[in-house]
Protein backbone atom coordinates (compact mmCIF):
# COMPACT_ATOMS: atom_id res chain seq x y z
CA UNK A 1 0.00 0.00 0.00
CA UNK A 2 1.56 3.26 -1.17
CA UNK A 3 0.98 6.33 0.94
CA UNK A 4 2.39 9.84 0.83
CA UNK A 5 1.99 12.72 3.25
CA UNK A 6 3.03 16.32 2.94
CA UNK A 7 4.21 18.34 5.92
CA UNK A 8 5.48 21.83 6.51
CA UNK A 9 4.34 25.33 7.44
CA UNK A 10 0.79 26.40 6.74
CA UNK A 11 1.77 30.03 6.40
CA UNK A 12 4.83 31.87 5.18
CA UNK A 13 5.55 35.54 4.65
CA UNK A 14 6.37 37.13 1.31
CA UNK A 15 10.03 36.73 0.33
CA UNK A 16 10.48 33.77 2.67
CA UNK A 17 11.55 30.31 1.61
CA UNK A 18 9.06 27.45 1.79
CA UNK A 19 10.27 23.98 2.74
CA UNK A 20 7.88 21.05 2.43
CA UNK A 21 8.54 17.42 3.19
CA UNK A 22 6.88 14.43 1.54
CA UNK A 23 7.10 11.30 3.68
CA UNK A 24 6.14 8.15 1.86
CA UNK A 25 5.77 4.42 2.41
CA UNK A 26 5.02 1.36 0.32
CA UNK A 27 7.76 1.93 -2.24
CA UNK A 28 11.45 2.64 -2.41
CA UNK A 29 13.00 5.62 -4.12
CA UNK A 30 15.96 3.43 -4.93
CA UNK A 31 13.95 1.25 -7.32
CA UNK A 32 14.60 1.80 -11.01
CA UNK A 33 12.09 4.11 -12.69
CA UNK A 34 10.47 5.34 -9.51
CA UNK A 35 10.05 9.02 -8.76
CA UNK A 36 8.23 11.52 -6.58
CA UNK A 37 6.66 14.65 -8.01
CA UNK A 38 5.30 17.86 -6.51
CA UNK A 39 2.18 19.51 -7.87
CA UNK A 40 0.34 22.55 -6.57
CA UNK A 41 -3.17 23.94 -6.89
CA UNK A 42 -4.14 27.52 -6.03
CA UNK A 43 -7.59 27.81 -4.45
CA UNK A 44 -10.24 27.21 -7.09
CA UNK A 45 -7.70 26.80 -9.87
CA UNK A 46 -6.05 24.08 -11.89
CA UNK A 47 -3.23 21.71 -11.06
CA UNK A 48 0.30 22.88 -11.81
CA UNK A 49 3.19 20.42 -12.17
CA UNK A 50 6.27 21.69 -10.30
CA UNK A 51 9.10 19.20 -10.09
CA UNK A 52 10.11 15.54 -10.07
CA UNK A 53 12.99 13.56 -8.62
CA UNK A 54 13.88 10.11 -9.92
CA UNK A 55 15.42 7.13 -8.17
CA UNK A 56 18.79 7.95 -9.72
CA UNK A 57 18.67 11.55 -8.41
CA UNK A 58 17.81 12.98 -11.82
CA UNK A 59 15.68 16.07 -11.27
CA UNK A 60 13.26 17.94 -13.50
CA UNK A 61 11.70 21.34 -12.91
CA UNK A 62 8.93 23.49 -14.31
CA UNK A 63 10.71 25.98 -16.59
CA UNK A 64 8.71 28.90 -15.21
CA UNK A 65 9.72 28.12 -11.62
CA UNK A 66 13.08 26.49 -12.13
CA UNK A 67 15.11 29.28 -10.55
CA UNK A 68 13.08 29.09 -7.34
CA UNK A 69 12.69 25.33 -6.85
CA UNK A 70 14.94 22.67 -5.39
CA UNK A 71 13.98 19.03 -4.89
CA UNK A 72 16.01 16.56 -2.88
CA UNK A 73 15.54 13.08 -1.48
CA UNK A 74 16.59 11.19 1.62
CA UNK A 75 16.13 7.53 0.82
CA UNK A 76 17.04 6.45 4.36
CA UNK A 77 14.06 8.41 5.69
CA UNK A 78 11.74 7.79 2.71
CA UNK A 79 11.39 11.53 2.27
CA UNK A 80 11.46 14.05 -0.54
CA UNK A 81 11.93 17.73 0.23
CA UNK A 82 10.70 20.65 -1.87
CA UNK A 83 12.20 24.10 -1.38
CA UNK A 84 10.70 27.18 -3.01
CA UNK A 85 12.40 30.53 -2.55
CA UNK A 86 11.08 34.07 -2.63
CA UNK A 87 7.45 33.20 -1.92
CA UNK A 88 4.78 35.66 -3.04
CA UNK A 89 1.01 35.91 -2.64
CA UNK A 90 0.42 34.01 -5.90
CA UNK A 91 2.21 30.98 -4.45
CA UNK A 92 -0.69 30.42 -2.06
CA UNK A 93 -1.86 26.92 -2.94
CA UNK A 94 -2.36 23.36 -1.84
CA UNK A 95 0.87 21.50 -2.46
CA UNK A 96 0.73 17.79 -3.27
CA UNK A 97 3.38 15.15 -3.60
CA UNK A 98 2.69 12.11 -5.74
CA UNK A 99 4.22 8.77 -6.72
CA UNK A 100 5.55 8.82 -10.27
CA UNK A 101 4.54 5.58 -11.98
CA UNK A 102 6.57 4.57 -15.02
CA UNK A 103 4.90 2.27 -17.53
CA UNK A 104 5.68 0.83 -20.93
CA UNK A 105 3.24 -0.25 -23.60
CA UNK A 106 4.48 -2.02 -26.71
CA UNK A 107 7.99 -0.91 -25.90
CA UNK A 108 7.08 2.76 -25.56
CA UNK A 109 7.45 4.15 -22.06
CA UNK A 110 5.83 7.03 -20.22
CA UNK A 111 4.52 7.79 -16.75
CA UNK A 112 1.62 8.91 -14.59
CA UNK A 113 0.94 9.98 -11.00
CA UNK A 114 -0.90 7.10 -9.43
CA UNK A 115 -0.82 7.87 -5.71
CA UNK A 116 -1.15 11.31 -4.17
CA UNK A 117 -0.79 12.75 -0.72
CA UNK A 118 -3.71 14.57 0.84
CA UNK A 119 -2.05 17.91 0.18
CA UNK A 120 -1.07 20.76 2.44
CA UNK A 121 -2.41 24.29 2.08
CA UNK A 122 0.28 26.93 2.21
CA UNK A 123 -0.84 30.54 2.57
CA UNK A 124 1.50 33.39 1.77
CA UNK A 125 0.59 36.41 3.84
CA UNK A 126 2.34 39.24 5.60
CA UNK B 1 6.29 23.44 -23.25
CA UNK B 2 3.26 21.53 -24.40
CA UNK B 3 -0.06 23.23 -23.69
CA UNK B 4 -3.18 21.23 -22.90
CA UNK B 5 -6.59 22.76 -23.53
CA UNK B 6 -9.69 21.12 -22.12
CA UNK B 7 -13.25 21.72 -23.22
CA UNK B 8 -15.71 22.50 -21.97
CA UNK B 9 -14.47 24.19 -18.81
CA UNK B 10 -17.73 23.22 -17.12
CA UNK B 11 -20.57 20.91 -17.96
CA UNK B 12 -23.99 20.19 -16.46
CA UNK B 13 -25.42 16.72 -16.85
CA UNK B 14 -27.85 14.32 -15.23
CA UNK B 15 -27.40 10.90 -13.70
CA UNK B 16 -27.46 8.35 -16.51
CA UNK B 17 -26.21 10.75 -19.17
CA UNK B 18 -23.30 10.01 -21.47
CA UNK B 19 -20.65 12.70 -21.13
CA UNK B 20 -17.54 13.48 -23.17
CA UNK B 21 -14.69 15.77 -22.16
CA UNK B 22 -12.10 16.83 -24.70
CA UNK B 23 -8.43 17.64 -24.31
CA UNK B 24 -6.31 19.10 -27.09
CA UNK B 25 -2.51 19.20 -27.04
CA UNK B 26 -0.52 22.02 -28.63
CA UNK B 27 1.60 19.46 -30.46
CA UNK B 28 1.40 15.75 -31.10
CA UNK B 29 1.84 13.69 -27.94
CA UNK B 30 1.12 10.31 -29.53
CA UNK B 31 -1.02 8.57 -26.89
CA UNK B 32 0.78 9.96 -23.87
CA UNK B 33 -2.09 11.42 -21.94
CA UNK B 34 -3.40 10.69 -18.45
CA UNK B 35 -6.74 11.57 -16.90
CA UNK B 36 -7.53 12.36 -13.27
CA UNK B 37 -10.69 12.98 -11.27
CA UNK B 38 -10.75 15.42 -8.38
CA UNK B 39 -13.49 16.00 -5.83
CA UNK B 40 -13.62 19.08 -3.60
CA UNK B 41 -11.06 19.03 -0.82
CA UNK B 42 -9.49 15.80 -2.08
CA UNK B 43 -6.36 15.00 -4.08
CA UNK B 44 -6.74 13.93 -7.69
CA UNK B 45 -7.51 10.30 -8.41
CA UNK B 46 -5.69 8.60 -11.26
CA UNK B 47 -8.16 7.23 -13.84
CA UNK B 48 -6.60 6.54 -17.22
CA UNK B 49 -3.09 6.30 -18.67
CA UNK B 50 -1.79 6.11 -22.23
CA UNK B 51 -5.03 7.59 -23.52
CA UNK B 52 -7.23 4.54 -23.06
CA UNK B 53 -5.92 2.26 -20.32
CA UNK B 54 -8.02 2.21 -17.16
CA UNK B 55 -6.16 2.21 -13.87
CA UNK B 56 -7.00 -0.79 -11.70
CA UNK B 57 -10.31 -0.34 -9.93
CA UNK B 58 -11.68 2.39 -12.19
CA UNK B 59 -15.25 1.56 -13.30
CA UNK B 60 -15.68 0.46 -16.89
CA UNK B 61 -18.13 3.30 -17.57
CA UNK B 62 -15.01 5.46 -17.92
CA UNK B 63 -13.16 5.28 -21.20
CA UNK B 64 -10.54 7.29 -23.03
CA UNK B 65 -9.57 7.63 -26.64
CA UNK B 66 -7.53 9.66 -29.06
CA UNK B 67 -4.02 10.08 -30.35
CA UNK B 68 -1.84 12.86 -31.66
CA UNK B 69 -3.38 16.08 -30.43
CA UNK B 70 -7.04 15.28 -29.72
CA UNK B 71 -8.27 13.15 -26.85
CA UNK B 72 -11.54 12.40 -25.11
CA UNK B 73 -12.66 11.09 -21.75
CA UNK B 74 -16.12 9.56 -21.85
CA UNK B 75 -18.37 8.51 -19.02
CA UNK B 76 -21.01 6.21 -20.50
CA UNK B 77 -23.68 6.52 -17.81
CA UNK B 78 -23.10 9.17 -15.15
CA UNK B 79 -23.34 8.08 -11.55
CA UNK B 80 -23.78 10.46 -8.60
CA UNK B 81 -20.18 9.88 -7.51
CA UNK B 82 -18.86 11.00 -10.91
CA UNK B 83 -19.63 14.66 -10.37
CA UNK B 84 -16.19 16.15 -9.97
CA UNK B 85 -13.50 18.05 -11.85
CA UNK B 86 -11.52 16.17 -14.47
CA UNK B 87 -7.97 16.96 -15.59
CA UNK B 88 -5.92 15.71 -18.48
CA UNK B 89 -2.12 15.60 -18.29
CA UNK B 90 0.38 15.04 -21.06
CA UNK B 91 3.30 12.70 -20.37
CA UNK B 92 5.14 12.96 -23.65
CA UNK B 93 8.91 12.53 -23.66
CA UNK B 94 10.35 14.18 -20.55
CA UNK B 95 8.93 16.47 -17.84
CA UNK B 96 7.44 18.96 -17.21
CA UNK B 97 4.14 17.16 -17.70
CA UNK B 98 1.49 19.84 -18.15
CA UNK B 99 -2.08 19.56 -16.89
CA UNK B 100 -5.15 20.89 -18.62
CA UNK B 101 -7.17 23.60 -16.92
CA UNK B 102 -9.85 21.17 -15.78
CA UNK B 103 -13.48 20.43 -16.62
CA UNK B 104 -16.01 20.75 -13.82
CA UNK B 105 -18.85 18.27 -14.17
CA UNK B 106 -21.92 19.41 -12.29
CA UNK B 107 -25.34 18.00 -11.65
CA UNK B 108 -28.08 19.45 -13.83
Tell me which residue of B46, B53, B47, B85 sits closest to B67, measured CA to CA: B53
Q: Quick check: B87 and A47 CB within 8 A?
A: yes
Q: Quick check: A113 and B96 CB within 8 A?
A: no
pLDDT band with cut points at 50, 70 and 90 for residue B1? confident
In terms of Cβ atoms closer than 10 Å to its own Cβ (0-12, 13-18, 19+), residue A103 is middle
In terms of Cβ atoms closer than 10 Å to its own Cβ (0-12, 13-18, 19+), residue B58 is middle
**pLDDT digit string (tens) for A56-97?**
999 999 999 999 999 999 999 999 999 999 999 999 999 999
The arithmetic mean of pLDDT across residues A37-56, rounded, is 98
CB atoms within 10 A of CB B91: 26
Rg (CA), chain B: 13
Q: Quick check: A49 and B96 CB within 8 A?
A: yes
**pLDDT digit string (tens) for B19-28?**
999 999 999 9
Among candidates A96, A114, A116 on the partner chain, residue whose Cβ is nearest the Cβ of B55: A114
- pLDDT value of position A55: 96
- pLDDT value of position A29: 96
> Residue B63 pLDDT > 90, yes or no?
yes
Q: Quick check: A116 and B44 CB within 8 A?
A: yes
- pLDDT value of position B73: 98
Q: Which residues pair with B19 in a beta bridge?
A: B75
Contact A117, A78 (CB under 8 A): no
Contact B1, B95 (CB under 8 A): no
Q: Is B53 on the interface with A (CB under 8 A)?
A: yes
Amino acid sequence: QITLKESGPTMVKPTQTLTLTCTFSGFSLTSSGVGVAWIRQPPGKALEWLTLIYWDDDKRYSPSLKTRLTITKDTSKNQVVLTMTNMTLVDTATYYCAHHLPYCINGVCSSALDYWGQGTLVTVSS
Amino acid sequence: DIQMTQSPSSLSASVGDRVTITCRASQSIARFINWYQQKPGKPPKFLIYAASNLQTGVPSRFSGSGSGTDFTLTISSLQPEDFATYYCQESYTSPPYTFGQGTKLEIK
